[in-house]
């Protein structure tokens, strides 16, 4: 085959399609298509000032989870690591000579990632992504709703069950009809009403303009959440209290895990199209190639 055709084959691997689709498109065997793609190789030689880390379910080379590293400032995937083990992550980061240049380490509430950050990047500011914090509160509200609906009659149980989206919708975006329906739902249980307003108050404080105001509002919210005596919120409030220092850092920097989560969603599409990729090296290069 000509060099031009080889280049087109490799270029087609940037799309989230299977190798068999590419092989059929170029009228070649799958093994031939993969042989040309195996010529592609990516490496990470330097860490960015803003480093985002997350895990995703890759199921490659016997490991259920892989780790993705991105530069959210420049919207670039830096590397894909074969697992999420703390010891392996530490060994990986220690090979970089510019580790001290990393200023911000963006992550979710994963204790293993925090240990890695504190060991490998002692000068970096650890920032907990706001989305992952808010999700904890929404999950707590969901647990209250599910517990409440267990004690309702059949018709009201179905009514409450179908109210999930309505309870999670921001109050300012509700229509008049939705507000009327919401009043009926909250009237079913005092516990559900408490949980709903706790969720709304938390969403409000997450839009604070700075960490000083956020700290004040967060401290007040934790006290009110604990005094509400909702068992479904115990785990949530404990986690937020333990991670509060890193959560508050998010109010002073413009960086989030949003780009990283977007990359994970694209990886899910790639996995679905390929029915999974078992070879980690090929999986890693494919993700980096699609993002390049």
Summary mean pLDDT of the chain: 94
Q: Per residue in 33-52, pLDDT tens?
A: 999 999 999 999 999 999 99
Mark whether 148 and 186 lie in a shared domain: yes
Enclosing H/E stretch for 245? helix 244-249
**Residues 69 and 288 sit within 8 Å (Cβ to Cβ):** no
Mark whether 122 and 138 lie in a shared domain: no
Query: Would you mind telling me the total number of residues written for the chain in this entry?
Result: 292
Count Cβ atoms within 10 A of the Cβ of residue 54 and give its class: 0-12 exposed, 13-18 middle, 19 or more buried.
buried
- Whether residue 288 is contained in a domain is answered as no
Whether residue 154 is predicted with pLDDT greater than 90 in this model: the reply is no
DSSP character for 252? S
Mark whether 102 and 144 lie in a shared domain: no
Mark whether 124 and 259 lie in a shared domain: yes
- Whether residue 292 is contained in a domain is answered as no
Mark whether 124 and 151 lie in a shared domain: no
- Whether residue 287 is contained in a domain is answered as no
- Whether residue 284 is contained in a domain is answered as no
Mark whether 157 and 73 lie in a shared domain: no
Whether residue 271 is predicted with pLDDT greater than 80 in this model: the reply is yes
> pLDDT category, 1, cuts 50, 70, 90?
low
Q: Per residue in 183-240, pLDDT tens?
A: 999 999 999 999 999 999 999 999 999 999 999 999 999 999 999 999 999 999 999 9
Q: Which domain holds residue 95?
A: 50-129+255-278
Mark whether 268 and 175 lie in a shared domain: no
- Whether residue 185 is contained in a domain is answered as yes
Percentage above 90 pLDDT, the chain: 92
Cα–Cα distance, 242 to 236 (Å, whole number): 10
Cα–Cα distance, 170 to 134 (Å, whole number): 13
Locus of tokens 């307003």: 197
Cα–Cα distance, 185 to 3 (Å, whole number): 65
**Structural domain count of the chain:** 3
Mark whether 259 and 125 lie in a shared domain: yes
Can you state the percent helix, strand and coil of the chain, rounding each to 5? 60, 10, 30
Mark whether 159 and 233 lie in a shared domain: yes
Cα–Cα distance, 234 to 30 (Å, whole number): 53
Mark whether 32 and 75 lie in a shared domain: no
- Whether residue 228 is contained in a domain is answered as yes
- Whether residue 87 is contained in a domain is answered as yes
Which CATH number do you get for residue 58? 3.30.420.10
DSSP character for 91? H
| Predicted TM-score of the model (pTM) | 0.91
Mark whether 147 and 219 lie in a shared domain: yes
Mark whether 89 and 190 lie in a shared domain: no
- Whether residue 43 is contained in a domain is answered as no
């Amino acid at each position: 085959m000509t060099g031009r055709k080889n280049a087109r084959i490799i270029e087609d691997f940037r799309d989230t399609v299977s190798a068999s689709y590419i092989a059929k498109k170029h009228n070649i065997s799958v093994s031939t298509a993969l042989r040309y793609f195996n010529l592609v190789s990516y490496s990470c030689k330097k860490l960015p000032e803003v480093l985002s880390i997350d895990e995703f379910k890759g199921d490659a080379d016997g490991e259920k989870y892989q780790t993705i590293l991105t530069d959210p400032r420049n919207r670039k995937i830096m590397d894909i690591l074969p697992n999420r083990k703390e010891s392996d992550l530490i060994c990986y980061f220690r090979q970089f000579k510019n580790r001290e240049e990393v200023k911000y380490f963006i992550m979710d509430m994963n204790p293993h990632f925090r240990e890695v950050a504190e060991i490998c990047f002692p000068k970096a500011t650890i920032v907990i992504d706001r989305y992952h914090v808010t999700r904890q509160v929404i999950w707590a509200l969901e647990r209250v709703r599910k517990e409440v609906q267990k004690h309702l009659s059949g018709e009201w149980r179905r009514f409450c069950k179908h109210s999930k989206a309505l309870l999670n919708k921001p109050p300012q975006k509700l229509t008049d009809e939705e507000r009327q329906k919401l009043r009926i739902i909250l009237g079913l249980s005092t516990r559900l009403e408490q949980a709903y307003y706790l969720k709304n108050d938390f969403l409000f404080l997450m839009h604070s303009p700075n960490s000083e105001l956020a700290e004040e509002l967060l401290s007040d919210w934790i006290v009110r959440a604990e005094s509400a005596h909702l068992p479904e919120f115990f785990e949530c409030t404990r986690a937020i209290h333990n991670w509060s220092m890193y959560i508050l850092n998010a109010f002073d920097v413009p960086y989030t895990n949003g780009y990283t989560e977007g990359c994970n969603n694209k990886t899910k599409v790639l996995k679905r199209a390929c029915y999974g990729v078992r070879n980690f090296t090929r999986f890693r290069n494919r993700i980096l190639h699609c993002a390049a």
